[in-house]
Chain A
Amino acid sequence: MKRRRASFAKLWLLCLALAAVIVARAHYITDLSAFLPASPSPTQQLLVDQLRDGPASRLILIAIEGGDAGARARVSAAMAARLRRDRQFSSLNNGEPVTAERDREFLFQHRYLLSDQVSAARFSEPGLHAAILDTIDELASPVGLMLKSLLPNDPTGEMLHIIDQLERTPSPTTSDGVWVSPDGTRALMVAQTAAGGSDTDAQERAIEAVRAAFADVREPAPATGAKPLQLKLSGPGVFAVGARAKIEHAAVRLSIASSILVVTLLFAVYRSLPALALGLAPVASGAVIGIAAVALGFGAVHGITLGFGITLIGESVDYSIYFFVQSRRLPPNEASASSWQRAWWPTIRLGMLTSVCGFASLLPSGFPGLAQLGLYSISGLIAAALVTRYVLPELLPSGFVIRDVTPVGLRVAGLLRRVRQLRGIHLAAFSVALAASALAVLRLHHDTLWNRELAALSPVSAEDRNADAKLRGDLGAADVRDLVIVSGPTLDSVLSGAERAAQTLGALVDAKVIGGFDSPANYLPSAATQQARRDSLPAPAPLLDNLQRATAGLGLSSGRLQPFLRDVEAASHAPPVTVQDLQGTSLRAGFDALILHERDRWHALLPLHAADSAQAVDTARVMAALQGAELEETRVLDLKQESDALYEGYLSEAIHLSLAGVLAILVLLMITLRSPLRVARVLAPLLLAVLTVAAGLSLCGVQLTILHLVGMLLIVAVGSNYALFFDRQASVHQAGGESLTLASLVIANASTVIGFGLLSFSQVPVLVALGTTVAPGAFLALLFGVLLAAPDVSNPGPPHSGASRA
């Protein structure tokens, strides 16, 4: 016996040390990708890339409020000047015309390669005549005033046309030289970080840089009672950093709070520090082993696994409670432990195995976050159970004893006896009625039972989302919903593809199916298109000839248009425009926003604008038109619909897997209990608890998410232990056993309810979902377990029945 004891403890310590090394060396991921799919379709992959690292994910929207307009404009300019020098930002725009001059130069210099009107026909006599006539019309209108000075160089109006091509989205209002909200009360800026949106650390540093810039240039509030200047930030990176901080904060705070409460509860029960330390050994070992298993299995550990994992294996605290409390009844020596092992270990083992079956249903999930939680719980629970079974008994100091908790059990038993007078037909009727009404509620709420939007998982509060929407509205940067995506092996191939798609989309604009679209080819046409445009420019002599005849009678003599002839000749020899030429202009950011590059694939994004801002784009018609044109590697992506479809796919997958888990539990129980009646007795309280909680949440107007589903699995996992104990109690007919069983279950239940109850008070939706499901569910599982337990359990042995009346 001595030899065995030493080897188990040694093995345990060795395993822990090994796991600790793995945990210390593991790679941790802190972005929100735990809830993005691991093996998506190509379209979903694009979506995920967009969400993680796309240009939109790198935006920080900045507002400066308070003070007066002048102060806001000065601070905006000073901050912008500082942040533009910061390499963390690839672009920063506050409406100041810092790049306007370079933008204009670039567009003007390359107008004959950039304008999609350039063709041989346009430079023929009738083409020139029509174009110049248009330009003269243009001059007569207020718009033309700005272009008057360009006329000698650009009589065909290519410059205005290019600006028109690019400026589809309205710019924010400008006041005092900087962007402001339409009501003029806030100065606005948009920063784009160089790092991707999924690099939460880099996002955090960038946000810090913005705050530091503001703090440094902020002006003291004027004495005249005006509000001091304030900085407001929004955007995906700001949300990710905030969410991470919030989850970390909540996880830390709640873990500490629930640890204190559970430790206090356990100490009140055990009244012994060694017992407390030993009691926490299984759960602590389970946590370390769980993280190590995830690190080995997945290569990296998600922050969410670290944060919530421990709550999922909270059940393992119960193992030591059962062990201590139930072995208490026997004489305090090694024999007590071994007899406990004989009497109760099979029950705990079965309870653990049912939990493992439940959590195994998370393993195949496409959400890496859920799959990790599954592996963590399974390995953690097995480790904790093994530690309880083999290590704890050996670690017990000789003469170890915890306080007698029989009175707790007796008091509960006394309460129950009164309830149990309603035995038999009443109780069955009650259960059936409860189940029926819960089912009725769920049926009534069937359509709205599940929340099918990805936003349901978002840790961003509705308030923050509204503030973000307002800021975007002020900036005129409404969320893009529909995109046409053209993919290919090179940048030039996707630019050509975008140009071909643009022809189809142009027809849809004319048919008023869509209002308009953007294209990266507007910033940088494909090499072939540039070549074709350059080749269509006539030689000087024929151009002069055409021009002279075209301008006859227009009041604009060709003599005034010498600069035009010079520019066209220069353009016909100019090298093609490249990405490098865009550098230093604000057009670079616009272009980059519409191009995605990953490994050996390029994607051109063509955002679609609705014809009527109140209505969504008819993506089916766009898709049909693009298909009709037989464009290769071109598809339509409805971001909102696609991401919701993605989530719904995972939700239904999770529901199916959970049902499979329940089936596995059923099979496991059938094999071990070998009696349909006993299996029904074990499962009935669990199903009743899950149904009641689901119906209760529905009645409270809560829409269920994937996290509620995980919570229901937990109810089954934790509740199965209760039910199995009652089943065991009923079958072994152990005299006086019930009060101790009840005591251990009540204490274990209290620790679970405390732990999860605290989660309900968190600000993080995913934690609230878990807490509000598991806390009431675990309590109900125990209650229904007691009520539906076999009648034998209600008769405690004679030695204790007297004590309860004392």
Chain B
Amino acid sequence: MSTHRDNTGSKIGMWLFLLSEILLFGGLFILYSSYRYKNPLDFHLAAWELNRVLGTINTLVLITSSLCMALSIFFIQKGGRTLSAFFLFATIFLGLLFLGLKYVEWTVKIGHGLYPNSPHLLGRSKGEVLFYGLYYSMTGLHGLHVLIGLFLLSVMLVLMLKGKLNENRFIPLENTGLYWHLIDIIWIFLFPLFYLMT
């Protein structure tokens, strides 16, 4: 007896979830745009303190991880299970690298006494306090999503190695890929707004 599978329905479900995620981050972007409008100079000055090199590297890391994700899905459709598993592993590795670099960035900032509600930060101007509040919340929420994505990707890798994901059934991998690409898109917007503002 075969189970009923609805690939299109499954995909619609994932897209609906992604739309809700876009609205979630969208709300935070609204907050960012409002506070930036009110404190343009403070936001500009605070942005200089962020590490542009690490931010750019992280952007390239996520873009490459999206490529690996797409290639993984491409190869499993063609039956190339080894290649697919390799690229899936590469995606996970790059995701971990992203989180590692984020950890380094945050540690440096916290080491300088710049974290939400720190006495050092509260001594600064109101606009800078807002900037850092938004920085930690938005990159933190994004990082949490990356962590969840990594967990999902690992589950997919296990399923693939067990043979449960193959050229006949790969929609879970596709849907996980959609989630991962969305994380990339969110970072594509976060990066210039926090690191590159002029």
The yes or no verdict on A and B being binding partners is: no
